[in-house]
Amino acid sequence: MKPWGGRDSTAPLAVLTCIVALGAALRLRYFHGVVGPDNFEYVSIAHSLARGTALYAPDPFAFNELFPYDVGRLSVVLPLALSFAWLGASELTAALWPLACSLVTIVVGFALGRHLAGPVAGLVAALVLTINGLEVLYATTPLPDSIVAVFVGLSVWQFLVGLDHQGRRGALAFAASGALLGIAYYARVNALAVFLFFAVWLLWSRRRPPRRLTFVLVGGLAVLALGTAFVIWGGGSPWFELTHNARLSAHNSVLVARRGGLDPLVEFGRLLFVHPLLRDWTLLAGAALLLLLTWRDRRLALPVIWVGVLYLYFEILSQYPAVSLVQKEPRYLTLLSVPLALMIGLAADRLWHATPDARWGAVAVAVLVLLVGWLVAAPSLRVTGILVAEQRGLEARAPREAAAALRELPPRPISVTGNWLRYLNFFGGYRYGLDVFDPTTYATATLQWVALDAGSRPVHVRAGYVVHDERRNLDVPPEWTLVKRGYRFAIYSVPASP
């Protein structure tokens, strides 16, 4: 009889299925949604792409309202556009792509753990990724973080497969690694820092780079060619990547100057040990590191080098000589989640096999999992719930509720006094005929912005509804009728001019 943990056993796959199901349940329980300015830029770009708006012929010198900052993140906006085109625009459809990526990351953790040590390491790594509060938080919001993390993880996995196999299989794995890294690049430019990890790993393992390693470049260039072809089809230049990245660098420098300078040099290190979503997992990975060092487990080298190289890149090279990260935020550290989970998985595997009787090893790992769930995962998820509630209660809450109120009213043209135009457009399901990146839609759209003069009195308001952000002053004309008041918003009915 094959052992439960054997590589050919089907039991680990059954357990992995349950772990992924748990991951889906947790991510839906702590649903994040579309909550902030970055989210609304991504969904607005996706809406424009779904309409066929040409977005890639920008002003070559500056970003502006018709050339969004994130238009080059094809791995984020194209799947969103497809989701909107097929299923309609909503918070749920906006979350489908990052959610799918987050769930696949769990499987990637299993695949890498099994590749390094066997199914026990893989399952524990997968479980860690399932219950990690940082992973849960960003799994259901349209941002690049879950997307870049899964494709970087897949790229590393295929890179290791390529090193372990000769001939066609090795070449195909390297090509897949490059292609996956290319997709990660189109989610976040600095995903290419993984090349540094590949180089350091080859040096550490004292492997002579095989000739088939060139297929990594072949795969990456193939994805770059496809992305460039799409940009050209959308009205852009074949040199879009070069000019866009130059603009990004210059734009980031301006933003840093406005903020008063760069974040502290060790800010990410501080976040790893202080932020409530990161602290306990960092300490647990540190304990696993010490345990594996005590056992002199050489398998530890891969996740340690992976974490070390990416940490040094994000902490230092993302700031010098060019600024690729304007602000050091916790979400950028999702790229460290997989290697940190691998450390914990390797320690669990070593604990499993440290006892003469496999049953006692299983008991030890089960106790470890329960302790981690109680001492680490539960507090982490509690913080996740608090952050989700805070985010959903901030900027987007009022326009979300206003859009729901408008759906219950008879349809009429809508004017907006604040900066909620994109917000109401999205929460209204883009049914108003407005594309914020297509000026030809401005005059005919039933959703428009209305200016306020110096006395906070509306200028040129058409008959219909006015949605007002009540954080702004407004001199309400006497002929307007209040229809609905909610959290920070009011809806007025404006009669037709006599």
The residue type found at 268 is F
**Averaged pLDDT, 34-59:** 88
Q: Which phi-psi region, left, alpha or beta, contains residue 459 (left: φ > 0; alpha: ψ -120 to 50)?
A: beta
> Which residues, including other chains, have CB under 8 Å from residue 366's CB and lie 6 or more apart?
none
- Which helix (H) or strand (E) segment holds residue 146: the answer is helix 145-164
State the pLDDT at residue 5. 52
Residue 214 has pLDDT above 50, yes or no: yes
CA-closest candidate to residue 278, choices 371, 379, 372, 348: 379
374-389 pLDDT, tens digit per residue, is: 678 888 899 999 999 9
Q: Which residue has the higher pLDDT, 323 or 115?
A: 115
Residue 498 has pLDDT above 90, yes or no: no
Ranges 113-122, 171-180, 233-242, 440-449: which has the least confidence: 233-242
286-345 pLDDT, tens digit per residue, is: 988 998 888 787 888 999 999 999 999 999 988 887 778 888 999 999 999 999 999 999
Are the C-beta atoms of residues 77 and 147 closer than 8 Å to each other? no
Residues above pLDDT 70, as percent of the chain: 92
| HEC per residue, 275-294 | CCCCHHHHHHHHHHHHHHHH
Fill in the DSSP letter of residue 435: -
Ranges 42-56, 85-99, 126-140: which has the least confidence: 42-56
Please, which residues bridge with residue 481 across strands? 493
Distance CA 342, CA 120 (A): 11
350-366 pLDDT, tens digit per residue, is: 888 777 666 655 666 67
Residue 7 has pLDDT above 70, yes or no: no
Q: In angstroms, what CA-CA distances link 292 with 178, 191, 285, 441?
A: 31, 28, 10, 61
130-160 pLDDT, tens digit per residue, is: 999 999 999 999 999 999 999 999 999 999 9
Angle, alpha carbons 391-392-395 (nearest 5°): 75
Report H helices in 237-377.
Answer: 240-259, 267-274, 279-294, 301-312, 337-353, 358-372
Task: Return the exposure string of 430-461: e unless at least 16 CB atoms fall within 10 Å of the residue's CB, then b.
Answer: bebebbbbbeebeeebbbbebebeeeeebeeb
Distance CA 105, CA 27 (A): 13
Task: Return the exposure string of 41-54: e unless at least 16 CB atoms fall within 10 Å of the residue's CB, then b.
Answer: bbbbbbbbbbeebe
State the pLDDT at residue 1. 33
What is the DSSP code string of 197-251? Answer: HHHHHHHHTTPPPPGGGGHHHHHHHHHHHHHHHHHHHTT--TTHHHHHHHHHHHH
State the pLDDT at residue 251. 79
State the pLDDT at residue 80. 98
Both tokens of 354, joined, read 């440290």
**Averaged pLDDT, 205-219:** 89
- Which helix (H) or strand (E) segment holds residue 447: the answer is strand 447-449
**pTM of the model as a whole:** 0.93
Are the C-beta atoms of residues 136 and 330 closer than 8 Å to each other? no
State the pLDDT at residue 8. 59
State the pLDDT at residue 319. 84
Sheet holding 464-469, edge to edge: 447-449, 414-416, 464-469, 489-494, 481-486
* Angle separating helix axes 194-204 and 301-312, nearest 10 degrees: 140
Residue 6 has pLDDT above 60, yes or no: no
State the pLDDT at residue 58. 61
Q: Tokens 């206003």 — which residue?
A: 402
Task: Place 62 in a pLDDT band, splitting at 50, 70 and 90.
Answer: low
Distance CA 290, CA 375 (A): 19
Are the C-beta atoms of residues 44 and 69 closer than 8 Å to each other? no
Mean pLDDT score of the chain: 89
Q: Tokens 């490059």 — which residue?
A: 178
**Averaged pLDDT, 395-418:** 94
Residues above pLDDT 90, as percent of the chain: 64
Helix (H, G, I), strand (E, B) or coil at 478: coil
State the pLDDT at residue 291. 84
Ranges 10-24, 79-93, 188-202, 352-366: which has the least confidence: 352-366
Task: Place 238 in a pLDDT band, splitting at 50, 70 and 90.
Answer: confident
